[in-house]
Chains A and B, each alone.
Chain A
Amino acid sequence: MIEFKNVTKKYRNHLALDDFTLSLPKGKIIGVVGENGSGKSTTLKLISGLIRPSKGSVTIEGEDITRKVSSAKVSYLSELDVYYSFYTVGETIGYYASLYRDFNRSKAEEILDYMKLDRSKKVKDLSKGNRGRLKIAVNLSREVPVILMDEPFSGLDPMVRDSIVKGLLSFVDFQTQTIIITTHEIKEIEPILDLVILIKDGKVLQMEEVEEIRIHQNLSIVEWMKKEYE
C-alpha cells in the first residue's frame, strides 16, 4: 500500500536515503529500526509528505505522496511536541476534531477515558507521560489508512509505555489501518510487531516477519539486528 521506488533523499551534502526501495503491506504493525542517522525519520517524513524525495517516488495506494494526499491518508505523530500548551486536554481534542474531517471524536473520548486523562487540565500542566498519552489519543483517533509513530516511547516510563502499547492494541482497526513505528525501544514493541524493517546508511538492509525470525533463527529482534548489522 506504500511504495518507495529508488528513493534518494539529500540534505545539502548529507545523503539520508540512498536508492531506497520498499513495499509496505496493509493492515500490519510495522517497526522501522536502525541506528541513529540511518534514515528512519526521513522515511517517516516522506510518508507524511513533510518532505519530498530528491529522486524516485513514494506512493500510497498508488498516489504520489504530497502534503494533500498525506493529510487525507496519514496520521503522523511527530517527535516534537506540537500541541498548543495553553489548550486543555478537551480543547486539544476539539481542535484536532475541527482540523481533520476523519477525526473520530467519540473514539478520542474513549481513549481519553482509557488513558485516564483529565479533560480540564492544560496541556502545559500535564506530566511528560500524560502528554505522551494525549499524543497517542490524538493520533489513534483519526480514521486514516496509515498511522505513523516516531519514537512514541522515548523518555517515557514503563507504565506509560505499557498504556501506549495497550491503547494501540485496543483502538487500532487492524482490518483497515497500518501502523508504522520507529523506535529504539525495540523490546517494548517486539511482541506487537508483524514486520520489522532494518535500515542502515539510508538503505533497507532487511525486511522480515518477526515471528519468522523467532521461528527460523531463534533470535530476538535486537539479536537479529546486531547480527544483520555486522
Chain B
Amino acid sequence: MADDFNASKPIYMQLADRINRQILRKELAVGQKLPSVREMAIQSGVNPNTVQRTYSELERMGSVESKRGQGTFVTENQSVLNELRQNLKKEQISSFFADMKEMGFSAEEMISGLKEFISTEERGEQRD
C-alpha cells in the first residue's frame, strides 16, 4: 500500500490522478458517490487530511461535486469530463514529446514509432 505512491511526490495529487483515471475509465460512473474520506483513507492507506485535500482538488478541477451532508459525487457534467479527458491526453503527449525530443528524435520518427508500437500492441491483445 505505502509503496503504491511515489514517496517524493505529493500524495494528494497522486490520489487525485488515480481517481480521475478511474472516472475516465468509467470504473467510477457518472453521478456515483465516492467513498467517504475515512473509507478512502483506509482503502488507499493515506492520511484522512490528505484525502480531504484530494477531494477539494478534484472539486476544483470539476470532476467531482460535493453535496452538503451527502458526500462527494462524480460530476454529471459530461463536458467537464470531456475536457478532463482532453487535458490528460495533452499532458501525456507533451511529456512524451519533450522526452523524445530531448533524446533527439524527429517528429516523423515519433509518429512512425508510435504507429508501429500501437499496431504491435493491438495484435498482441487480439491473441490474448
Contacts and interface: CB of A to CB of B under 8 A. Distances in A.
Interface of A: 28-29, 162, 165-166, 169-170, 174, 187-194, 211, 214-215, 218-223
Given A162-B1, A169-B38, A211-B53, A192 B45 contact: yes
A192 B42 contact: no
Interface in B1-48: 1-3, 5, 7-12, 38, 41-42, 44-48
B9 A218 contact: yes
Given A169-B38, A192-B45, A214 B10 contact: yes
Given A162-B1, A188-B2, A190-B2, A220 B7 contact: yes
Among B3, B8, B9, B11, chain A packs the most CB atoms within 10 A around the CB of: B8
The A interface, classified by DSSP as helix, strand, loop or mixed, is helix
Contacts of B38: 169-170
Nearest to B12: A211
B47 A193 contact: yes
Nearest to B47: A192
A49 B47 CA distance: 28
Contact of A214 (B2, B3, B9): B9
A53 B1 CA distance: 39
Contacts of A166: 42, 45
A29 B41 CA distance: 13
B42 A190 contact: no
Nearest to B1: A162
